[in-house]
Amino acid sequence: MGDDMNSGCLLPLARSVITGVFAAVMVSMAGVCFSWTPQTAILRGLAAGAAAAGLVWLASLLESFRPEFPAWLPEYQAEMTAQAQPQAQSIRVILDRDNGRSLEFCDLPASREQLAALAHGLLEGGATLSESHWTGSGGTFTRSQFAALRSELLKRGLVAWNSPGTPARGVCLTRPGKAAMRAFASETPSPTVGHWSE
């Protein structure tokens, strides 16, 4: 509340007063140079100061009510910044279990290109699902992206811990996971989902 009061009221008021005093002094000094009578110089100085203070105050009010950046509502700026950020990509996948008797939908938090690169690396390149292989400088994923993807793959049973009690030993593809990776590796740009059976 104190910050809102300072930025929304006191700061514009201080700017207005300082500008008004400065304008009054400058016009009064100009009156001395132009040989105005002291009374005329003072009156004109006061009028100029009041006009300058009023204009600065009005400009501050107009600025605070601009819809694209209201200075008095920082939450609005944060919301607009969040909306400007690109949305995370995900791929909708249908897990076809028991020859179509059980369908499960899941969204894998990765782009089609990332999943294709992962699939080719695992199936053809002999890569593992270690974080260090897929993240870092020039990696296919950021650390947070890879962690989210691996978490979803674990949740859906597409990968499993090599040693459940020792996560440091990493994960490996399960049988449905291998089928999923084959689907991603062979997918053309047009399909939007992968289908496979356990």
What is the mean pLDDT of the segment spanning 116-122?
A: 89
Task: Give me the mean pLDDT over the 95-102 stretch.
Answer: 63
Does residue 164 surpass a pLDDT of 60?
yes
Q: Tell the burial category of 26 from Cβ atoms under 10 Å away from its Cβ (0-12, 13-18, 19+).
A: middle
Checking if the pLDDT of 98 tops 70, the result is no
CA–CA separation, 186 vs 182, rounded Å?
6
Nearest to 129 by CA among 104, 108, 102, 154: 154
- pLDDT band for 7, please (50, 70, 90 cuts): low
81 contact partners, CB below 8 Å, separation of at least 6:
none
Token readout for 39 is 């009374």
Q: CA–CA separation, 62 vs 55, rounded Å?
A: 10
Helices (H), 99-195: 112-123, 131-134, 143-155, 175-186
Summarised one tens digit per residue, pLDDT across range 15-62 is 889 998 999 899 988 888 888 888 888 899 899 989 998 898 888 877
C-beta separation of 172 from 130 below 8 A: no
Its pTM stands at: 0.49
The 10s digit of each residue's pLDDT in 126-154 is 888 888 889 888 888 998 999 999 999 98
Query: Quick one: average pLDDT of 182-195?
Result: 58
